[in-house]
């Protein structure tokens, strides 16, 4: 059992505990070794001098007994597998092997093998303390998991974590603390912890921030692993302004996990500037963390942004800068981007149009600040204006239609406010400004133009949401939309209302843009809309192959297969 041949044939690690203990009790096998040469012989006194030596009569060599039991054959091959038979230099080899750290470690393993932990035998109190410690760890993990669940709940429903008054006797401690207290009423472990804890309660601002940071790092680590295992990736980015008026860029990653498309939030990144280079640098910094290797860059096949030229510009926009580092990252349309808002951003690069939309948003802002103003509006119009939400995703198509259809009612409403308002002067001043907009030829002309354009944008947006989207259908949508814009374009010379005598009798006439210049502006806007739309949907040939996997089209393929796909 303890012979070299037996231990080499059946390693010590694969034997039962009883066999291992028996081998240790027997110790190293020390047979008489007959030398195959007549010049040198092995002296049995070596066994006495070095107790770890073991020999093999069949091979005529000596080995290290502890290293055979616990060592690695590849690292200590001579003393574990091949053996030593160079008797002339045996002394040197033995001295060198004794100084080897692996040999010392294996000797210690053999010496301590089978010896029971003394600390466990000293007293039952030690085992009790271990059990108490494990129970405390389990309880702390349970408490922390409940607090994390409360944080996740608040995040899922976009609820604030901090309250205005979080003292113990507060009647309204905030949503988070209220949720923790409610959970404690259902969980005795958490309730006892909140009542007795003196060091770690888990509800302080510092603990919340640390837990959020840890959760965020774990989420990013999981996302990195998922992207490492996927073959394709798309990035969606936009910027937004938080409650403290700081500009932040948000990055969303879209990819496949087990055959299912998922979208993962990656990060918010603060930005000092909103130019294309700054935004591209932020996106590249995020992508370099999920695609660290050069060969991984081919995974990024799509990038989605809104309609601003700084983002989607073909030459100096973010998408062109990103594509320099990621050549397969095609710019594609994102279903989440409202086309009317996208096109509004695109045409707002014209200063007159930007001023028009700024004045237009004033109508909805005016009536949302005061219930009294709403009452005047309901009295005159009978229909409230669509609210202008302060977010980048806001679009104003319904506002264009409402203002256009109720021009006379709005004029009557603002005149009524100017004459009969008995409140603050700000309301009168704003009503007077909006009334002048409704009496301005330029504003009314632009309003008429976009009133004709916006319905076609809405129709196109609804068509692009179809799950049956294919290249032929998309091409038809593009052709119809371009034709509709050109039809509106042909009416531009007749859009601006004629000049009334009242407007020409002013003592000090203002400098107005000529009708030819305004027509040129609207022609430019029409060109921008068509150009931006075509460039936004330029990369759409990939839909040809995608239609082959649409199960709802299989029956149609049986009748006429689309060979182009």
The whole domain housing 87 covers 4-115
- Same-domain check for residues 76 and 168: no
pLDDT tens digits, 305-339? 765 545 555 555 788 888 888 888 888 766 555 55
pLDDT of residue 421: 81
In this prediction, residues 478-482 reach a mean pLDDT of 84
**What average pLDDT does this structure show over 96-105?**
90
What pLDDT shows up at residue 323?
Answer: 86
Within-domain flag for 563:
no
Average pLDDT over residues 85-113: 89
Q: Is the pLDDT at 514 greater than 90, yes or no?
A: no
Residues 368 and 474 in one domain: yes
- Nearest Cα residue to 202 out of 171, 176, 173: 176
Count of CB atoms situated within 10 Å of the CB of 544 = 14
CB 78 within 8 A of CB 69: no
Which helix (DSSP H) or strand (DSSP E) does residue 70 occupy? helix 65-70
Consecutive H or E run containing 366: helix 351-368
Alpha-carbon distances, residue 173 vs 151, 159, 164, 186, 208 (angstroms): 15, 13, 7, 19, 15
The predicted pLDDT at position 225 comes to 92
**Is residue 208 one of the residues assigned to a domain?**
no
Q: Given a cut of 90, is residue 526 above it in pLDDT? A: no
What tokens does 158 get?
């976009």
Residue 227 and residue 99 in one domain = no
> DSSP characters for 367-417?
HHS-HHHHHHHHHHTSSPPPP--SSTT---HHHHHHHHHTHHHHHHHHHHH
360: left (phi > 0), else alpha (psi -120 to 50), else beta? alpha
Collapsing DSSP to helix, strand or coil, 36 comes out as coil
Are both 319 and 416 inside the same structural domain?
A: no
pLDDT tens-digit readout, 142-193:
999 999 999 889 888 888 887 766 666 677 778 888 888 899 999 999 898 8
Q: And the tokens for 309?
A: 């030229």
**Given 322, 337, 352, which residue is the final one in a domain?**
337
Give the count of beta carbons closer than 10 Å to the beta carbon of residue 2: 20
Query: In which band, very low, low, confident or very high, does the pLDDT at 394 lie, cut at 50, 70 and 90?
Result: very low
How far is Cα 441 from Cα 447, in angstroms, rounded to an integer? 10
Q: 128 CB contacts (<8 Å, ≥6 apart)?
A: none
Residues 398 and 546 in one domain: yes
Mean pLDDT of 384-410: 66
Identify the residue with better confidence: 487 or 348: 487
Question: Can you state the percent helix, strand and coil of the chain, rounding each to 5?
Answer: 60, 10, 30
Tokens at 109, concatenated: 């393993």
What total number of domains does the chain contain? 4
Angle in degrees, CA 138, 141, 147, rounded to 5: 145
Q: What is the mean pLDDT of the chain?
A: 79
| Residues 485 and 524 both lie in one domain | yes
Gyration radius of the chain's alpha carbons: 40
Is residue 561 a part of any domain in this protein? no
Tell me the CATH number at 276: 3.30.420.40
Same domain, 44 and 68: yes
In 157-242, which residue ranges form alpha helices assigned H by DSSP? Answer: 175-186, 188-196, 205-229
Whose CA is closest to 538, among 336, 378, 323, 353?
A: 323
Phi/psi region, residue 412 (left: phi>0; alpha: psi -120 to 50; beta: rest), is alpha
In the predicted structure, residue 481 carries a pLDDT above the cut 70: yes
Q: Rounded to two decimals, what is the model's pTM?
A: 0.56
Q: Quick check: 393 pLDDT over 50?
A: no
What is the per-residue pLDDT for 63?
93
Last residue of a domain, one of 304, 337, 370: 337
Please tell me whether residues 141 and 194 are part of one structural domain: yes
- Mean pLDDT computed over 459-476: 72
**What pLDDT is attached to residue 531?**
76
Statement to judge: residues 268 and 319 lie in one domain: yes
Q: Over 60: is that where the pLDDT of 561 sits?
A: no
Banded pLDDT at 458 (limits 50, 70, 90): confident
Q: Is the predicted pLDDT of residue 228 greater than 70, yes or no?
A: yes
Q: At what angle do helices 188-196 and 124-156 cross, to 10 degrees?
A: 100
pLDDT tens digit sequence for 35-86: 655 567 888 888 888 999 999 988 889 999 999 998 887 777 888 988 988 8
Within 249-299, residue ranges assigned H as helices are 276-290
Q: Quick one: what percent of the chain has pLDDT higher than 90? A: 14
- Which residue in 27, 33, 36 sits closest to 46, CA to CA? 33
| Cβ-contact 491, 505 below 8 angstroms | no
């Amino acid at each position: 059992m303890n012979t070299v041949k037996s231990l080499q044939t059946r390693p010590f690690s694969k034997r039962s505990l009883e066999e291992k203990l028996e081998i240790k009790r027997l110790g190293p096998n020390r047979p008489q070794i007959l030398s195959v040469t007549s010049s040198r012989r092995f002296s049995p006194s070596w066994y006495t001098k070095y107790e770890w030596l073991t020999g093999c009569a069949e091979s005529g060599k000596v080995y290290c007994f502890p290293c055979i039991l616990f060592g690695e054959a590849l690292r200590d091959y001579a003393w574990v597998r091949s053996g030593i038979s160079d008797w002339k230099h045996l002394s040197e080899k033995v001295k060198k092997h004794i100084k080897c750290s692996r040999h010392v470690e294996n000797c210690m393993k053999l010496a301590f093998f089978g010896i029971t932990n003394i600390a466990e035998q000293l007293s039952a109190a030690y085992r009790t303390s271990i059990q108490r410690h494990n129970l405390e760890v389990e309880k702390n993990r349970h408490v922390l998991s409940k607090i994390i669940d409360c944080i996740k709940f608040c995040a899922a429903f976009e609820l604030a974590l901090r309250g205005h008054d979080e003292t113990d006797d507060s009647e309204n401690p905030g949503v988070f603390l209220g949720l923790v207290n409610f959970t404690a009423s259902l969980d005795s472990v958490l309730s006892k912890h909140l009542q007795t804890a003196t060091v770690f309660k888990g509800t302080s601002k510092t603990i919340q921030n640390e837990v959020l940071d840890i959760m965020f790092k774990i989420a990013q680590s999981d996302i990195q692993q998922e992207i490492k295992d996927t073959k394709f990736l798309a990035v969606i980015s936009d910027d937004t302004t938080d409650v403290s008026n700081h500009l932040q860029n948000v990055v969303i990653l879209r990819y496949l996990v087990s055959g299912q498309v998922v979208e993962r939030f990656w990060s918010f990144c603060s930005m000092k500037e909103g130019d294309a280079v700054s935004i591209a640098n932020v996106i590249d910094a995020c992508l370099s963390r999920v695609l660290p290797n050069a060969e991984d860059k081919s995974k990024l096949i799509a990038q989605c942004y809104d309609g601003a030229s700084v983002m989607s510009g073909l030459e100096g926009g973010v998408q062109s800068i990103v594509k320099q580092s990621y050549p397969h990252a095609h710019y594609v349309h994102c279903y989440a981007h409202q086309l009317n808002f996208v096109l509004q951003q695109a045409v707002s690069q014209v200063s007159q149009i930007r001023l028009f939309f700024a004045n237009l948003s004033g109508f909805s802002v005016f009536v949302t600040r005061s219930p009294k103003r709403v009452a005047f509006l309901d009295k005159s119009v009978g229909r409230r204006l669509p609210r202008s939400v302060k977010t980048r995703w806001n679009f104003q198509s319904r506002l264009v239609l409402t203002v256009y259809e109720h021009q006379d009612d709005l004029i009557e409403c603002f005149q009524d406010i100017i004459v009969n308002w008995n409140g603050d002067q700000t309301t009168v001043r704003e009503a007077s400004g909006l009334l002048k907009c409704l009496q301005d030829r330029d504003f009314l002309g632009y309003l008429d133009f976009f009133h004709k354009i916006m319905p076609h944008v809405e129709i196109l947006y609804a068509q692009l949401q179809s799950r049956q989207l294919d290249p032929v259908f998309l091409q038809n949508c593009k052709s119809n939309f371009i034709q509709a814009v050109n039809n509106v374009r042909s009416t531009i010379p007749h859009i601006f209302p004629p000049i009334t005598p009242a407007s020409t009798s002013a003592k000090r006439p203002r400098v107005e843009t000529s009708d030819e210049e305004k027509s040129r502006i609207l022609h430019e806007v029409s060109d921008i809309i068509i150009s931006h739309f075509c460039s936004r949907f330029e990369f759409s040939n990939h839909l040809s192959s995608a239609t082959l996997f649409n199960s709802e089209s299989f029956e149609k393929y049986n009748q006429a297969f689309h060979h182009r796909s």
